[in-house]
Structure 1
């Protein structure tokens, strides 16, 4: 049926061309967006709008046409005694749902009080060669929704709304940080090392320079180089790549917002991030109250603060401080019938093992906004050690609805200590921990030129949108998710 419909549309296209009609014209001058036209007073004339035809209802002497775009829709009235017999018949003969149309006319309201434009002139702005899915059934095939997102945006209201929210969210984050005097910068995507996070990188090859490179897993070490160079407050919307397993909460290509402030510590950043989230909610949703799994959560209230040790002890009965090495901790989890997933679980360093334990047992229970603090130092190779307990770091993560949406800490600025930690990570990596960090001599050299106190933070736009819209999978929070061929 689809091939037959395409053939019919091709015949219409050729018929129009044979009459000298431009099927794909170069432009059409509008003076209102569709959502703006819906607010015009009745009688407003000379209104010029354009959009994709999403609905046609034919009657004996007139037709109602619905056109739309990502931001709105508008009803049009095409009446034979107002546009003439030829214009009416041409529309009936050559126009289909999915085509683009430009119109000019006058606004009025129907008996059901729907704002409508009475067409005086119209022009074809683009012929669609494929039929759209049935508007009542929508686009039910999940694979098609991801592979042909453009159709999903046309047909699925939830997708359209979520992507508009994403745009508003990005704008709000950028505006908030700029108002706090942070400067937006850009750092390299192609890097020699995979530093800045505990993750496996994607590798690529530079033909002209004859060398292997990594796609960045985080912009962290380059942003810190800028602090060395004299910047005091910086942030970046950084496209990052992590060659990790697929899950409802993970993307291998995602947008990280990361920033740093000289002379701050992690507690200053906690305050900034809480203020930012509340601001973003107001700008994006006009409210600080979000419904998550049927529970209303007011982000303007105080947020919980809990330590890594307290949380794991409460949920598992294991005091991680009593197990200084990964082998003894692994044996204790087995004794308590806690089994972590992954073929290489025994090759992980103590920090990554603790992180896996927390993610399996504790994190799913954190629904309300919670600051998780006091991470083990071997889980945070770039974070500053706590002054009172050198086995812990001055770090926090914000967890909402079982998802980590912000990671931040007081930065390690001691180059001697940083070298020791990266050497430890390099040993773990050579022992099979694929997510351990590499040695980064260039970054260490920058540190040796001197760093002030720094606090930094990072979060994924998609993860934040997923949590705030109570979405089940992060693939619904990116316009074009990666799919198998």
Structure 2
């Protein structure tokens, strides 16, 4: 016996269009309207009560015909539940419609009563159903889902339909972000909004996206950070503020970088970087305990094998930057000439080293390659060279460093935190030095604000995308961003 021939994609599309035309000829609405649901499919199954009347809507995800009866699964982002449909309940015409015109992937609405099958499966006994949206294209293979990463990121909706893990990550992300808001608001932080278009991009050393404000006839920039506007609020008398914001940096795209990303920034008047570190440590551990089942986070591959374990148990390690660099490059590192540093760095396998690099740039390359990339459990890197952080307060006992932490987890920076610089004279000097290197305009309005007096403060930034990666075990930032930036497909 010869196997049935496989249909081409164009044939499958035509089959579904033919079914749509047949429904329209019969006066059946293939694209429905309002339907009052009583339960979401997954929630109904999770909190199941037998023998109640229900009204449910969703997408048909599978079906199994058994003569005059059919079992099918209906689902949405909440999950799925099995349904039982028989000719005796919906009549010959209704059953023929379901068998002949309704496909896997179609949206339907139904009403019926909950029951448990002989095999113990929680189900709905369907009494009535109606088409709600005809799917003119088939779903991905039910066993393998979307395995092509190009399709996964470009057509995220297909990934969400077919991959339970992807749905779980994005539902968890939403709940974590809501809990971050709750965590800060319970501690009297006020959520605010600051401009996403700025005439002077500031708060970080990064290349901005440019645009043009027609009404004002001037060049504008998508923000690279909200920091300078949030500090203006401290000048205005606010004492605890935060913003969950979208930032834009016109730079590289990689496994850990997306040009459009989500950042939490928070500022606390009369605080410092140590207190902000305590706040971040407490918040991240709270998220892990609430959503990850504890402080030990396991990262797994697609086969479910554990590839990495991150232990968030408190207290988190806090170590000065220079001690970490010495531990990686040698106790005498900071006494070496630039030429000797270049030679040693190359011998340690640190690439992208240049003879023209400043001392602090060579130090940072050692740190990034030999410390940051190898640190998976939480590490607060403290007292960073002042050249790296122009917006932080200088240490009172060592004027070569600033009172800063950089939190490293999972081999990447998750959060910086500062004792914020509030001296307008020193701030101008720092920004002028940075502007000279980056060809970046100084935000004179921010300096003006500082001259009116800003209280001492602690500040933090947390890369939400990277935090979610760490907590969910995702290995690419694209797996925690619903619609990551991709190069336009060729025509």
TM-score band (shorter)?
Answer: over 0.9
Q: What is the correspondence of 1:86-165 to structure 2 with a 5 Å cutoff?
A: 86-165=93-172
Residue 282 of structure 2 is aligned to residue 275 of structure 1: yes
Change (3 A) 1:323 1:201: farther
Give 2:389's aligned residue: 380
Q: Over residues 204-253 of structure 1, what are the superposed CA-to-partner deviations in whole Å (9 max), with x where a residue is unaligned?
A: 22233222222111100000001101111000011001122222111111
1:393 is paired with a residue whose SS is strand
Partner-residue secondary structure (3-state), 1:340:
coil
| Structure 1 residues 234-273: aligned runs within 5 Å | 234-273=241-280
Instruction: Give yes or no for the alignment of 1:445 onto 2:458.
Output: no
CA contact (8 A) 1:351 1:377 kept: no
Residue 334 of structure 1 and its aligned partner are, at CA, apart by: 5.0
In structure 2, distance between residues paired with 1:21 and 1:110: 31
**Deviating more after overlay: 28-37 vs 91-100:** 28-37
- For the structure 1 residues 316 and 195, does the alpha-carbon distance in structure 2 shift closer, same or farther, using more than 3 Å as the test? same
Aligned to 1:322: 335
Classify the secondary structure of the residue corresponding to 2:274.
Answer: helix
Cα offsets for 1:65-84 (capped at 9, x unmatched): 11111111111001112222
SS of alignment partner, residue 129 of structure 1: coil
User: Are positions 1:44 and 2:52 aligned together?
Assistant: yes
CA displacement 1:156-175 (0-9 Å, x = unmatched):
12111111111111011011
Structure 1: tracts of 5 or more residues without a match: 431-436
Query: Per the alignment, do residues 320 and 209 of structure 1 end up closer, same or farther by CA in structure 2, a change over 3 Å counting?
Result: farther
Q: Report the equivalent of 1:433.
A: none
Alpha-carbon distance in structure 2 between the residues aligned to 1:106 and 1:303: 53
SS at match of 2:61: strand
Q: Which runs of 5 or more structure 2 residues have no equivalent in the other structure? A: 1-7, 300-305
Question: CA separation of 1:251/1:347 partners in 2, compared to 1, >3 Å: closer, same or farther?
Answer: farther
Deviations 1:126-163 (A, max 9, x none): 00010111111221111000000000001112111111
Aligned length: 474
In 2, Cα distance between equivalents of 1:230 and 1:321 = 42
Q: Deviations over 1:242-268 (max 9, x none)?
A: 122222111111000111000101111
Matches of 2:446 and 2:120 in 1, distance apart?
65
Matched, 1:313 2:319: no
**Which segment is superposed worse, 409-418 or 470-479?**
470-479
- CA gap of 1:328–1:381, structure 2 versus 1, over 3 A, is farther
Distance, in Å, in 1 between the alignment partners of 2:52 and 2:369 is 61
Shift of residue 19 of structure 1?
1.9
Alignment counterpart, residue 204 of structure 2, candidates 197, 211, 216:
197
Report the equivalent of 1:393.
Answer: 402
SS of the aligned residue for 1:375 comes to: strand
Q: Aligned partners of 1:274 and 1:137: how far apart in 2?
A: 39
Deviation at 1:329, TM superposition (A): 7.2
Asked if 1:67 is matched to 2:74, the reply is yes
Matched, 1:341 2:352: yes
Candidates 400, 411, 416, aligned match of 1:402: 411
Match among 440, 464, 469 for residue 466 of structure 1: 469
Shift of 1:349: 5.4
Contact 2:40 2:76 (8 Å CA) reproduced: no
CA contact (8 A) 1:51 1:102 kept: yes
Q: Is the 8 A contact 1:76 1:119 kept in 2?
A: yes
Question: Are 2:483 and 1:484 aligned?
Answer: no
Given the superposition, is the C-alpha separation of residues 479 and 346 from structure 1 closer, same or farther in structure 2, using an over 3 Å criterion? Answer: farther
8 A Cα contact 1:372 1:396, kept in partner: yes
Q: Distance in 2 between matches of 1:25 and 1:470?
A: 39
Q: Secondary structure at the match of 1:374?
A: strand
Helix, strand or coil at the partner of 1:42: coil
Contact kept, 8 Å, 1:264 with 1:454, in 2: the verdict is yes
Q: CA deviation at 1:335?
A: 6.2
* Cα pair 1:288 1:299 within 8 Å, conserved: yes
- 1:309, 1:438 → 2: CA distance? 31
- The two structures have a TM-score, normalised by structure 1, of 0.93
Matched, 1:425 2:434: yes
TM normalised by structure 2 equals 0.92
| Residue matched to 2:375 | 366
CA contact (8 A) 2:113 2:124 kept: yes
